[in-house]
Chain A
Amino acid sequence: MNVKLIIIGGSAGSFQVITKILSSLPKDFPVPVVLALHRLKHVRHGFVEALSIKSKMSVYEPCDKDKIKPGKIYLAPANYHLYIELAGTFALSTEEAVNHSRPSIDLTLMTGGYAYKNKCVGIILSGANKDGALGMAKIKEYGGVTVAQEPSDAQMPTMPVAAIEKAKNVDHVLSSDQIIKFLLSL
C-alpha cells in the first residue's frame, strides 16, 4: 500500500496514545502525519513542545500554505480549522466551529481524504464526542483506509464508537499497540 498521508484525530483521553505512537515512529518514518486534536483555543503555545518530548520526528504547527512533507508530524493549530489542499499543502480557516470544535477533526479528515484519495489513512482515537465520524466515512468513500481505536482500549470510547458506526466498514479496529504495529508496517 502506497500511503502518502496519515491523519490522526483525537480528543479527551488521546494524549497518552498519541505520545506512545510518536515515540514509536522512527525518525525516518516516510509518511507525513497530521494530528487533528481538540485543544483549548486560547492556549496557543506548549502543545507542540509537549508532543515533541517523546517524538523522534519534529512536530510543527503548520502555517497557511505550508507544503506537506514526509518525516514530519503536523499538529492542527489552536482555534483554526486545518484543511488539506489538492496541491499537497495546508490551508487554515477561521470559519465557525463544527460540532463545537475548531479544529474540526471531520474537516481535516474530509479534505485530506479528498486530496489524497486511496493514499490516505484516517485514524480515530479516544474522545468524548462524535467528531471525526463523518470524516472517516468520507475517507472510506474516497478509497482511503480507516482505523478506529478499539473502544475498550480507549479512555473515552464515544469517538471511536461513532466512527465505527458511521464509517460502517472501518477497515481496522485496533488497540493502541496494534495501531503502532500497523503504522510501522506501512
Chain B
Amino acid sequence: MNNTLGKDIEISISGVRHLIDRVKKVHGFDLGCFALTSFKRRLIKALKKNELNDIETFTDKIVSEKLFFNKFLNDIDVECTEFFRDPAFWRYLRDEVLPLLDKKNMRIKIWVPSCSSGEEVITTAITVQEAGLKDKTEILATDISPYIIQDFEKKVYSKSKFEISETNYQRFNEEKTDFSRYTKPVKNGFCFPDDFFENIKVDYYNYQDAKKIKSFNLIICRNIFIYYTAQYQEMLLNLFLENLSYNGYLAIGNMENISWCKDFHKFVEVNESEKVYKKIN
C-alpha cells in the first residue's frame, strides 16, 4: 500500500475512543492518557507501518495479540530527534546543577523517564562525564516499550541526526571539540561504544503502575508532558515529586507548563527559561 502524504488515512474520534476503551479492558493500559492530536497522528503512522488502513482491524489485532500490542507501544513512542536539544539547558546542568549535587551527595542519582530512542539519556551521560562526575553518578533510563529497552545499547542513529547533534554539541561544549569523540561510525550511521553505558541502567517502567523507584536527585523529563492530557500531567507531576529527594531537581521542556498543577507549590523555579525546578516540600 502506498500512502503519499497527500492521501492521508483519516481516523474518526469515535474509532480512537473505541480503541482506548478496548485496550483498557483487555490489557489494562489506559491510552486515554495521551493528548489527542499527537496520539492520533502516531496512530495513523502505526497504521501505515502495519499496512492497515482502518482503525477497527487495527484495534482487533491490538486487543487479541499481546505481542502486537507490545509492538504497538513501541510504534507510538515518540522519538527524540536530536542529541543536545537546547544546548543552553545542558550547559546549565553541567555548570550549575551537577556541581551542586556533587557537593551535597555521596552518589548522584538521575532518572530519565520515557527515554525512547535514547537521545536524552545519552546526552545526560555525556554531560555528566564532562562535569567529571561519571564515577559518582547512576543514571536510570526507563520506557513503556519493552522493545526500546532491548535495543537501546545497540541502536544505530542516522547520519542526519549526527549533523543536527554535532551543531548542538558545539553550542554546548563551546570549546570546538567534536561530538564524534563519543561516537563510533557504523554502516548507515553511528552508535556509541559499549563502555559508554557503564553507569546507565535501562528498564521498563509504566507510569500507570505509579511505583516508587527511589529518591532521585534529578529527573530529566523534557518534552514528555506535552504528549499527555492535562489530567495525566497532574498525575505525572505527583509521581515525580514522590520519586525526588528533598532538594532534588526536575527539568521539563522549555515550552511545557506545569505551574497550574495542584502540587506545583512544592517546587521552586531555579531556571525560568530552561524550566528547571527544585523540590522544596
Chain A interface main SS type = loop
Among A64, A65, A66, A91: residue with most chain B CB under 10 A: A64
Give Cα A136–Cα B38 distance, bound, in whole angstroms. Answer: 19
Given A94-B81, A94-B223, A96-B79, answer yes or no on A63-B255 (Cβ-Cβ < 8 Å).
Answer: yes
CB distance from B136 to the nearest CB of A (A): 30
Q: Which of B100-108, B141-149, B209-217, B225-233 contacts A (4 or more CB under 8 A)?
A: B225-233
B6 within 8 A of A: yes
**A92 at the binding interface (Cβ < 8 Å):** yes
Q: Chain B, 4-18, contact with A by CB distance < 8 Å: what is the 0/1 string? A: 011000000100000
Q: Once the chains bind, are B37 and A84 in contact (CB under 8 Å)? A: yes
User: Is there contact, CB below 8 Å, between A42 and B38?
Assistant: no
Contacts of B257 in A (CB 8 A): 63-66
Check if B226 sits within 8 Å of A93, measured CB to CB.
yes
Report the Cα distance A16→B35, complex, angstroms: 35
B230 and A65 within 8 A (CB) = yes
**In the complex with contacts A61-B255, A64-B256, A111-B37, A92-B226 CB distance below 8 A:** yes
Range of interface residues on chain A? 20 to 34
Inter-chain contact B226/A134, CB cutoff 8 Å:
no
Contact indicator B255/A42 (Cβ below 8 Å): no
Residues of A within 8 Å of B279, CB to CB, are none
Is the pair B35, A63 in contact by a Cβ cutoff of 8 Å?
no
B278 interface hit (Cβ, 8 Å):
no
Size of interface on B: residues with Cβ below 8 Å to A = 31
Q: Which residues of A contact B37 (CB under 8 A)?
A: 83-86, 91, 111
A97 near B: Cβ within 8 Å?
yes
Question: In the complex, A93→B167 CA distance in Å?
Answer: 21
User: Which residue from chain B places its CB closest to the CB of A64 in the assembled complex?
Assistant: B226
Q: How far is the CA of A134 from the CA of B273 in the complex (A)?
A: 34
Is B113 in contact with chain A by the CB < 8 A criterion?
no
- Whether B255 contacts A83 by the Cβ 8 Å rule is no
Contact surface of A with B, Cβ cutoff 8 Å: 42, 44-45, 61-66, 77, 79-80, 83-86, 91-97, 102, 111, 134, 137, 166
Closest CB pairs A-B (n = 3): A63-B257, A83-B37, A64-B226
Contact surface of B with A, Cβ cutoff 8 Å: 5-6, 13, 35-38, 41-42, 78-81, 85-87, 167-168, 171, 223, 225-227, 230, 233, 253-257, 273
Known: A63-B257, A134-B5. 16 other contacts (CB 8 A): A44-B86, A64-B225, A64-B253, A65-B230, A65-B233, A65-B257, A79-B86, A86-B36, A92-B256, A93-B41, A94-B85, A94-B226, A95-B42, A95-B79, A97-B81, A102-B81
